[in-house]
Chain A
Amino acid sequence: MLTFIARRLLIAIPTLLLVSVFVFTLQKLLPGDPALVLAGEDRNPEVLAFIREKYRLNDPILYQYAYWLGGLVQGDLGVSLRTNQPVLQLILDKLPVTIQLAVMAMIIAMAIGIPAGILSAVKKGGPIDYIANFVALSGLSIPNFWLGIMLILLVSVELGWLPASGYTSPFQDPVRSFQTMIMPAFVLGTALAATLMRHTRSAMLGVLKADYVRTARAKGLGERIVILKHAFRNALLPIVTLGALLFGELLAGAVLTEQIFTIPGFGKLIVDAVFTRDYAVVQGVVLCTAAGFILMNLIADVLYFLLNPRMRATL
Chain B
Amino acid sequence: MTAPALLTGTDDGDLPARGSSRAWKKLKRNRSALFGFVLVAFFVAIAVLAPILPIADPAATSWSAIRKPPSELYWLGSDEIGRDLLSRMIWGARASLLAGVVSVLLAVAVGVPFGLLSGYFGGWTDQIISRITDALLATPFLILAIALAAFLGPSLTNAMIAIGLSATPIFIRLTRGQVLSVKTEDYVEGARAIGLSDIAIMWRYILPNVFAPVLVQATLTVATAIIAEASLSFLGLGQQPPDPSWGSMLNVAKNFMTQAPWMAWWPGAAIFLVVLGFNLLGDGLRDALDPRES
Asked if B250 and A143 sit within 8 Å, CB to CB, the answer is: yes
Is residue B173 contacting chain A, with contact meaning CB distance below 8 A? yes
Interface residues of B, count at CB 8 A: 57
When each residue 294-312 of chain A gets 1 if its CB lies under 8 Å from chain B and 0 otherwise, what string results?
A: 1001000000100010110
Asked if A18 and B131 sit within 8 Å, CB to CB, the answer is: yes
Is residue A242 contacting chain B, with contact meaning CB distance below 8 A? yes
Q: What is the bound-complex CA distance between A300 and B292, given in angstroms?
A: 29
When each residue 269-310 of chain A gets 1 if its CB lies under 8 Å from chain B and 0 otherwise, what string results?
A: 011001000000010001001100110010000001000101
Q: What is the bound-complex CA distance between A304 and B230, given in angstroms?
A: 36
Asked if B140 and A270 sit within 8 Å, CB to CB, the answer is: yes
A238-B177, A242-B174, A311-B180 known; A26 and B275 CB under 8 Å? Answer: no
Asked if B184 and A313 sit within 8 Å, CB to CB, the answer is: yes
Q: Pick the contact of A30 from B150, B173, B290 — CB < 8 Å? A: B150
Asked if B220 and A140 sit within 8 Å, CB to CB, the answer is: yes
Kindly name the residue among B147, B150, B230, B276 whose own CB sees the greatest number of chain A CB atoms within 10 A. B147
Q: Pick the contact of B147 from A26, A141, A145, A289 — CB < 8 Å? A: A26
Residue ID in chain A nearest B144 by CB atoms: A26
Q: What is the bound-complex CA distance between A28 and B192, given in angstroms?
A: 48
Residues of B234-253 whose CB lies within 8 A of A: 250
A150 contacts which chain B residues (CB < 8 A)?
257
Residue ID in chain B nearest A21 by CB atoms: B135
Is residue B63 contacting chain A, with contact meaning CB distance below 8 A? no
B181 contacts which chain A residues (CB < 8 A)?
237-238, 304, 308, 311
Q: What is the bound-complex CA distance between A176 and B142, given in angstroms?
A: 32
Is residue A31 contacting chain B, with contact meaning CB distance below 8 A? yes
Residues of A36-80 whose CB lies within 8 A of B: none
Asked if A245 and B170 sit within 8 Å, CB to CB, the answer is: yes
Asked if B143 and A23 sit within 8 Å, CB to CB, the answer is: yes
Least Cβ distance of A23 to chain B in Å? 6
Asked if A293 and B137 sit within 8 Å, CB to CB, the answer is: yes
Least Cβ distance of B245 to chain A in Å? 14
Residues of A144-169 whose CB lies within 8 A of B: 145-146, 149-150, 153
Q: Pick the contact of A137 from B132, B177, B276 — CB < 8 Å? A: B276
Is residue A85 contacting chain B, with contact meaning CB distance below 8 A? no
Is residue A94 contacting chain B, with contact meaning CB distance below 8 A? no
When each residue 65-106 of chain A gets 1 if its CB lies under 8 Å from chain B and 0 otherwise, what string results?
A: 000000000000000000000000000000000000000000
Is residue A174 contacting chain B, with contact meaning CB distance below 8 A? no
Per DSSP, chain A at the interface is helix
Interface residues of A, count at CB 8 A: 62
When each residue 282-293 of chain B gets 1 if its CB lies under 8 Å from chain A and 0 otherwise, what string results?
A: 000010001011
Is residue B70 contacting chain A, with contact meaning CB distance below 8 A? no
Of the candidate stretches B16-24, B49-57, B102-110, B210-218, the one touching chain A is B210-218
Residues of A201-224 whose CB lies within 8 A of B: 202-203, 205-206, 208-209, 214
Is residue B1 contacting chain A, with contact meaning CB distance below 8 A? yes
Asked if B213 and A202 sit within 8 Å, CB to CB, the answer is: yes
B144 contacts which chain A residues (CB < 8 A)?
26
Q: What is the bound-complex CA distance between A18 and B174, given in angstroms?
A: 21
Q: Pick the contact of A138 from B227, B258, B272 — CB < 8 Å? A: B272
Is residue B198 contacting chain A, with contact meaning CB distance below 8 A? no
A31 contacts which chain B residues (CB < 8 A)?
150
Q: Pick the contact of B275 from A125, A137, A199, A270 — CB < 8 Å? A: A137
Q: Pick the contact of B134 from A30, A137, A293 — CB < 8 Å? A: A293
Least Cβ distance of A37 to chain B in Å? 14
Is residue B125 contacting chain A, with contact meaning CB distance below 8 A? no
Chosen A-B contacts, 20 in total, with CB atoms closer than 8 Å, are A14-B131, A15-B134, A22-B139, A26-B144, A30-B150, A133-B279, A137-B272, A137-B275, A138-B272, A140-B224, A141-B275, A143-B254, A146-B257, A153-B257, A198-B219, A198-B220, A206-B212, A238-B178, A255-B142, A282-B143
Going nearest first, the 4 A-B pairs with the smallest beta carbon separation are A290-B138, A26-B147, A141-B272, A18-B135
Q: Which residues from chain A sit less than 8 Å from chain B, CB to CB?
A: 11, 14-15, 18-19, 22-23, 26-27, 29-31, 125, 130, 133-134, 137-138, 140-143, 145-146, 149-150, 153, 194-195, 198-199, 202-203, 205-206, 208-209, 214, 237-238, 241-242, 245, 248, 252, 255, 270-271, 274, 282, 286, 289-290, 293-294, 297, 304, 308, 310-311, 313-314
Given contacts A133-B279, A137-B279, A252-B138, 5 further A-B contacts (CB under 8 A): A29-B151, A30-B150, A143-B230, A241-B174, A290-B134
Q: Which residues from chain B sit less than 8 Å from chain A, CB to CB?
A: 1, 5-6, 32, 122, 127, 131-132, 134-140, 142-144, 146-147, 150-151, 170, 173-174, 177-178, 180-181, 183-184, 212-213, 216-217, 219-220, 223-224, 227, 230, 250, 254, 257-258, 264, 268, 271-272, 275-276, 279-280, 286, 290, 292-293
